[in-house]
Amino acid sequence: MSKTRFWTFVLRGLVVLAIFGVGYLVRAVTSPAGRSRPTRTGKIITVADGTAAQTIPASGTIEPATERTVSFATSGAVNAVNVAVGQSVTSGQQLATLQTAPLAATVAQDQAQLASAQAKLSVDEAAGAASTTINADNAEVSAATYSLSIAQANLGDATLRAPISGTIVSNTLVPGLQVSGTVNAAGVAPGITIISPNSWMVEASVSDASIAGVTKGEQAKITPQGSTTTVYGTVTSVGLVATTTGGVASFPVTIAITGSPTGLYTGLPANIFLITRVQANVIEVPILAVHSLTSHPYVIVEKGKTKSDTPVTLGPIIGANVIVSHGLSVGQRILERIPSFAKSLGVPGPTGRGAKRGAKGGGGLGGL
């Protein structure tokens, strides 16, 4: 064989090898079975179904659901304050009093004036006075009666009583303070504030991007700052007017906390998840069990001694987990990678519990 023919056969062989090589590489890139991947390290978990909740994150502060501020309804000088901040009181309990001597004197004066008007009416009637005189006497009796009723009411208002049972949280009354029985220019008056420690609410705010998914009656999970205990509540109102802080608009949402949990305090910040939808009998797996989360996702299924790549269709990401809508069955065993490999494998860390779609292959549960 000549050298020319020899090299011709060699070149043709190289071309054939190159074609097979390109095909193999394409298959390796596009096929889960051939995709290059890091060492399979982790733990085997068993797929189970359960209940998944789609949530919207919010923040807010815990406030008492029942709060009353009481102040004197009449004018005078404060005589005594009978309670202190932090003290528990019962409905109707005396809280403070005004100096009653001036008020009692007014009552006595009005009583005397009424008696005088009544006596004059009796005399004029007995003497057969003209109707105009009798009418004037009756008007004087009516005026004196009204004045006496006001004086007696003012004397009764000299004692301030608790409108509800609860705890004193603030007090601006001190002995000797002169009160007017009306509010000042700021719309407030010196008084005592009582809250009920048995009922609580949360004044929350939700971003304008999420508020459309919040409706009255939805459930909420609430975790007070610094606490590991979760309490629950129900959305009672959704505000229509947004406030803007730092260029970000948010809407007010009020949540009534269920029951009478302990360990809650006025003004305590809280993290909130509003549960907008709950779906039962869904498969939810750790994000760390999914490879190529944002492109052709798959999981590694163990069957006997064999591990195989199985394509899956993803639904929303919920916290550190993701919904698998197709591709897995209850009871299958899959590999969950250890967290140290997550970043190198392109897997995002745990997110908030707001639902987000995986990219390709998403859709899943149709909006869950």
Give me the mean pLDDT over the 193-215 stretch. Answer: 92
Q: Read off the pTM.
A: 0.59
Q: How far apart are CA 61 and CA 269, in angstroms?
A: 4
Over the stretch 88-113, which tens digit does the pLDDT of each residue have? Answer: 999 999 999 999 999 999 999 999 99
Most confident listed range (84-98, 215-229, 314-328) = 84-98
Q: What is the largest CA-CA distance in the chain?
A: 162
265-315 residue pLDDT tens: 889 999 999 998 888 889 999 999 999 877 899 999 999 889 999 999 998
pLDDT band at 17 (very low <50, low <70, confident <90, very high): low
Domains of the chain: 42-51+281-337 (2.40.420.20), 57-64+196-279 (2.40.30.170), 68-97+160-181+189-195 (2.40.50.100), 100-157 (1.10.287)
pLDDT in tens, 144-179: 999 999 999 999 999 999 999 999 999 999 999 999
Q: What angle do CA 27, 32, 37 make, to 5 degrees?
A: 100
